Amino acid sequence: MTALLQVSGLSKRFGGFVALDGIDLEVQPGERLGLIGPNGSGKSTLVNCICGTLHNETGSVRFADEALDGLTAHQRTRRGLARSFQLPRPFASLSLAENVRIPILYSVNARAGGHLHGAAIDERCLELLGLFGLAGKARQMPRDLTQIEMRKLELARAMAAGPKLLISDEAMAGLSHAEVDEIIALLIRLNEQGVTVIMIEHIMRAVMEFSQRLAVLVAGKKIADGPPKDIVRDPEVVKAYLGE
Amino acid sequence: MDGFSADLLINAIVSGLLLGGFYAAVSVGIAISFGLLDIVNIAHPAFILLGSYAAFIGNTVFGIDPILAAVIALPFFYLLGMAAYQVYYVAFERRDDQSLRGLSFFFGLLFITEVALVLTFGVDYRTVQANYIGPSISLGLFDLPLRLLVPFLVAMAMVMAFQLFLSRTFIGRAVQAVAQDQGALRLMAADPVKIKRIAFGLSIATAALAGACLIIIQPVEPSIGREYIGRVFAIVVLGGLGSFPGMVIAAMTLGIAESLTATFFGPSWAPAVAFGILLITLAVRPSGILGR
Amino acid sequence: MASLADKTAVAAVPGLRALPFTLALIAIAAAIFALGRWYNNSYAFFMGYVVVQYIVLGTAWNILGGYTGYVNFGVTAFFALGAYSTVVLHKLIPAMPLPVMILIGGTLAGLVGLGTGYLTLRLRGVFFSIATLALAVVVQTLIINWDFVGGARGAYVLRPRVAPLIGGDYVQYLFLLMLGMCVIVLATARAIERSALGYGFAAIRDDEAAAEASGVPTLRLKLIATTLSGGFMGMAGAPLPFYVTYLDPASGFSLNYAVNAIAMPLIGGTGSWLGPVIGAVLVGGLQEYLRVTISSAVNVLVAGVLMVAFVILAPQGIIGLFQKRKR
């Protein structure tokens, strides 16, 4: 079975600083991958390069057996790649329903045979918000949301694009124990519906509960990749990230 | 249109260099406000014109040397700059609603200043008198008009003083730091807002001196500020944001390009040179010559 | 049940679909024109032309500025392109009807908008704004150095004595054409607001990177906005030579057009098609009042001062102030 996402030899520099150094990563369809590493190790940079927000100097990204190199971010989203932003970036002048409407209008409707119109779009917006418990606030503005609601909106908007692969970038930072559980449950439910998920997190409990496989990024290099139980015992990983 | 002659060419280049030095003085303020503070102060030329008219008043009413008048006006311009930043900060930066409204704010200031100057001084060209306006030093191959040389020297002194300020003093380094990482600055127990306010105040203070230089070089009237918007941003962008040496090189380049254009194609084409360079730079290499 | 797509933001006539709205606009415009004809005061037509011209200019600016978040300071470039294309066309083909010249002027300005956008829209918004300033000066310098259109000395255009089709003073014809453009521009703006295109613009304005990540083709949409905006501004400028009869670069490229085109939507409210209308009527009216009572220099100051005041104190404009009261 071909991997859904194939990253080969991906490198990214900022001036003299090497943010990513020859990253190889594969994600199988339907998989739940966890991506961990210390701050500044390049996790978000990797997401940005995969999704097209940044351009990698070397290496390639293949998605659903198609080379993504040279494609813009919106073209990649239309092909089924979606991400949430680490710091939520809602459309501040639009209501929640309108926030999730944008990806429907521009990703779902841009695909062959995916067209939703009129009332169907409204229904889909409410459905998406409902998945995340936000249906009641459909007409409210992002500034009226709590932290966790903003994170959920981020994920809802990413899901609205109808992705095959969803990258969740530190959606749980600073949330309470119960809130973290909520998000984990949500992501697992999405995965059960057929969405491949990459979870980037610092909260080890969440990562261990969620991931079927774990990859570790340290200083721009991938130092480990395998089953979670093995990774957390890997001496290099422990030294670089988990601590003695 | 004159025929090609080595004499003309050399003089054009020399004038261009001297003019470029002056352009560097005009751009120092933008190098600070846009290059370091990320504030698009398109009203900067209006402040320069205020400096010109301040020098004009000092010269015609009080009989002082225009450069001296500008030096006297420096503290007022500094305070004016701090006040302008305070308004900008409270109204825009703090609300994080910068682009559209912040730009419109400065555009409005530019316009209001121009009209106010028209109402106060009229649309006639104004000049100053000083004993270095007129004579030139003749150096065989070319001439050094003093009215270009003096502003050039003043301008270079100002640019160098600024470069030293930024690299040697605590506040100067804090200004550079605030450009890169406000969080780290806070950890150093320095208030980023206060630093920015000082920096912006200084950027407007440079306008006073630049304005005096301007009115020495050429007669001024209120609407010439608009030509300078393109020039200063062309210089700062071409030189690379945040790079003072780059800015000086770019200023010289522009000065020479304009001088050559004016000499061989006519002065009415000169304003387009800066803007043409700006458009090309933005399209081809937006990070500039020495940019970050 | 009201659709979730109803912009809870502004739209003063929320429920009307595009066609009824356009018909209503046409009816209003026809009524205004008929009233003017009956009243038969030349001054009213001259004044009306200016106000309606600013509605068109302001709405055009707002499509790129208010809806998409990209500030165009080079209004004068597009406006004057329209005006000077009329001068050229009129010299080359004196028999060309004005509506045709308006279309050509608008197309030309639209293409320039497309070109400028293509060069600069891949950069940050502020660079686009600076580039538009540059564009204004470049175009002005080109015109000043072009003798065919009179260069710095300016060009004279003879205004016909009688209006074609409707008879009467030619100024009435100019006013009618401007009203026609106004209907087109307002209908377009409102149609954009409620369409997928409008949502795309809003997403770009609010957060361009997030818009890209959501599938919005940001460059393409921005180019559409720049082209539409520039084109409409060119159309607004096309009749100008007949209105002023003497066109010189100093007045054709006057900063007043730029300041008004930006100030009026900002004051009225940039979120809706109605904002530029309110801004044009109020500020235009105020300017005219000040011009006849105090002086023509002071009236020019008004737009700038009000713009700065509103931008600081009431960023959502007059419409925003009303909305706040409602809540």
Token readout for A209 is 């509960």
Q: How many contacts, defined by CB atoms under 8 Å, are there between B and C?
A: 122
- Give C167-214 pLDDT, tens digit per residue: 778 888 899 999 999 999 999 999 999 899 999 999 999 999 999 999
* Within-domain flag for C62: yes
Token readout for C72 is 């165009």
What pLDDT score was predicted for residue B94?
65
Summarize the confidence of residues C106-135 as an average pLDDT.
86
What pLDDT score was predicted for residue B263?
86
What pLDDT score was predicted for residue C306?
92
What pLDDT score was predicted for residue A213?
94
What pLDDT score was predicted for residue B234?
84
How many angstroms separate the CA of residue A33 from the nearest CA in chain C?
A: 21
- Better pLDDT: C217 or C150: C217
For chain B, how are helix, strand and coil distributed in percent, rounded to 5? 75, 5, 20
C236 confidence band (pLDDT: 50, 70, 90): very high
The three-class DSSP label of residue C156 is: strand
| Longest distance between any two alpha carbons in chain A, whole Å | 57
* Within-domain flag for C93: yes
B254 close to B277: Cβ distance less than 8 angstroms:
yes
* Within-domain flag for C70: yes
- DSSP one-letter code for A142: G
What pLDDT score was predicted for residue B247?
87
Which residues pair with residue C156 across a beta bridge?
C246
| φ and ψ at residue B90, rounded to 5 degrees | -65, -40
Q: Sign of the CA dihedral A63, A66, A69, A75?
A: negative
d(CA B70, CA B55): 6
- Give A123-136 pLDDT, tens digit per residue: 999 999 998 889 99
Summarize the confidence of residues B155-167 as an average pLDDT.
88
* Within-domain flag for C259: no
C4 confidence band (pLDDT: 50, 70, 90): low
d(CA C264, CA C270): 9
Measure CB to CB from residue C308 to each of B105, B266, B274 and give the nearest one: B105
B284 confidence band (pLDDT: 50, 70, 90): confident
ipTM: 0.91
Distances (CA, A) of C169 to B166, C164, C238: 66, 9, 19
The three-class DSSP label of residue A67 is: strand
> Among all chains, which residue has been given the structure tokens 């846009």?
B34
Measure CB to CB from residue C216 to each of A94, A102, A122 and give the nearest one: A102
d(CA C291, CA C255): 17
Comparing CA positions, the residue from C147, C177, C152, C137 lying closest to residue C52 is: C177
C265 confidence band (pLDDT: 50, 70, 90): very high
- For residue C41, count other CB atoms closer than 10 A to its CB: 11
A10 close to A217: Cβ distance less than 8 angstroms:
no
* Chains with ≥3 CB–CB distances under 8 Å to B: C
Number of H helices and E strands in chain B, helices first, is 11, 2
A154 confidence band (pLDDT: 50, 70, 90): very high
B209 close to B74: Cβ distance less than 8 angstroms:
yes
Count of domains for chain C: 1
d(CA A49, CA A32): 20
The reply to whether residue A94 touches residue C206, judged by beta carbons under 8 angstroms, is yes
Interface test with C, best of B278, B280, B285 (most C CBs within 10 A): B278
What pLDDT score was predicted for residue B1?
46
* Within-domain flag for C12: no
The reply to whether residue B230 touches residue C133, judged by beta carbons under 8 angstroms, is yes
User: Which residues touch C304 (CB under 8 Å, ≥6 apart)?
Assistant: B108, B111, B112, B115, C259, C263
Which run of H or E residues covers position A165?
A: strand A165-169
One-letter identity of residue C196: A
Comparing CA positions, the residue from B152, A67, A153, A53 lying closest to residue C218 is: A53
- Better pLDDT: A176 or B290: A176
Comparing CA positions, the residue from B288, B263, B226 lying closest to residue B31 is: B288
d(CA B252, CA B44): 20
The three-class DSSP label of residue A224 is: strand
Least confident range of B70-79, B205-214, C162-171: C162-171
The reply to whether residue C133 touches residue B42, judged by beta carbons under 8 angstroms, is yes
- DSSP one-letter code for B218: S
Burial class (CB in 10 A: 0-12, 13-18, 19+), C227: buried
Summarize the confidence of residues A209-228 as an average pLDDT.
91
Distances (CA, A) of A195 to A35, A59, C264: 17, 25, 48
Angle between helices C75-92 and C98-120 (to 10 degrees): 140
What pLDDT score was predicted for residue B182?
62
User: What CATH superfamily is the domain A5-242?
Assistant: P-loop containing nucleotide triphosphate hydrolases (3.40.50.300)
B83 close to C52: Cβ distance less than 8 angstroms:
no
A36 confidence band (pLDDT: 50, 70, 90): very high
Is pLDDT at C139 greater than 50 in this prediction? Answer: yes
Is pLDDT at B207 greater than 90 in this prediction? Answer: yes
Question: By CA distance, what is C302's nearest residue in B?
Answer: B112
Least confident range of A82-86, B143-147, B214-218: B143-147
| φ and ψ at residue A168, rounded to 5 degrees | -105, 110
B96 close to B70: Cβ distance less than 8 angstroms:
no
Distances (CA, A) of B269 to A71, B237, B276, C145, C221: 41, 21, 11, 8, 34
Summarize the confidence of residues B180-207 as an average pLDDT.
80
- DSSP one-letter code for A123: H
Comparing CA positions, the residue from B7, B29, B6, B10 lying closest to residue B18 is: B10
Token readout for A40 is 């500044």
* Within-domain flag for C17: no
User: Which residues touch A142 (CB under 8 Å, ≥6 apart)?
Assistant: A88, A90, A91, A92, A94, A96, A99, A150, A153
What pLDDT score was predicted for residue C8?
37
Token readout for B61 is 């009413």
- For residue C286, count other CB atoms closer than 10 A to its CB: 14
d(CA B173, CA B167): 6
d(CA B13, CA A143): 57
d(CA B102, CA B91): 8
The reply to whether residue C297 touches residue B119, judged by beta carbons under 8 angstroms, is yes
How many angstroms separate the CA of residue A21 from the nearest CA in chain C?
A: 24
Token readout for B172 is 């100067």
Residues 161-220 of B with CB under 8 A from C: none
* Within-domain flag for C278: no
Q: How many contacts, defined by CB atoms under 8 Å, are there between A and C?
A: 101
B47 close to B29: Cβ distance less than 8 angstroms:
yes
The reply to whether residue A93 touches residue C209, judged by beta carbons under 8 angstroms, is no
What pLDDT score was predicted for residue A209?
92
Which residues pair with residue A60 across a beta bridge?
A8
The reply to whether residue C142 touches residue B282, judged by beta carbons under 8 angstroms, is no
* Within-domain flag for C218: yes
- For residue B101, count other CB atoms closer than 10 A to its CB: 19
Is pLDDT at C148 greater than 50 in this prediction? Answer: yes
- Give C271-309 pLDDT, tens digit per residue: 899 999 999 999 998 988 888 888 777 777 888 899 999
What pLDDT score was predicted for residue B292?
45
Is pLDDT at A175 greater than 90 in this prediction? Answer: no
Summarize the confidence of residues A169-185 as an average pLDDT.
88
Is pLDDT at B126 greater than 50 in this prediction? Answer: yes
- Better pLDDT: A45 or B3: A45
d(CA C27, CA C33): 10
What pLDDT score was predicted for residue B183?
63
Token readout for B226 is 């608009």
Token readout for C14 is 């929320």
User: Which residues touch C250 (CB under 8 Å, ≥6 apart)?
Assistant: none
Pairing of strands A213-218, A32-36: parallel
- Better pLDDT: B79 or B8: B79
Specify the pTM: 0.88
Token readout for A218 is 């340290």
What pLDDT score was predicted for residue A216?
92
Q: How many CA atoms lie within 13 A of B175 on its CB side?
A: 28
B222 close to B117: Cβ distance less than 8 angstroms:
yes
Average pLDDT, chain A: 90
Is pLDDT at B189 greater than 70 in this prediction? Answer: no
Question: By CA distance, what is C316's nearest residue in B?
Answer: B101
Q: Sign of the CA dihedral B88, B92, B93, B95?
A: positive
Comparing CA positions, the residue from A170, B276, A42, A194 lying closest to residue C135 is: B276
**C171 CA to centre of own chain:** 20
Torsion-angle region of residue C153: left (phi > 0), alpha (psi -120 to 50) or beta? alpha
Summarize the confidence of residues C97-117 as an average pLDDT.
93
Domain spans in chain B, listed from the N-terminal domain onward: 6-284
One-letter identity of residue C65: G
Question: By CA distance, what is C116's nearest residue in B?
Answer: B279
- Give C38-70 pLDDT, tens digit per residue: 887 888 888 889 999 999 999 999 999 999 999
d(CA B111, CA A236): 63
A10 close to A61: Cβ distance less than 8 angstroms:
yes
Summarize the confidence of residues A60-87 as an average pLDDT.
93
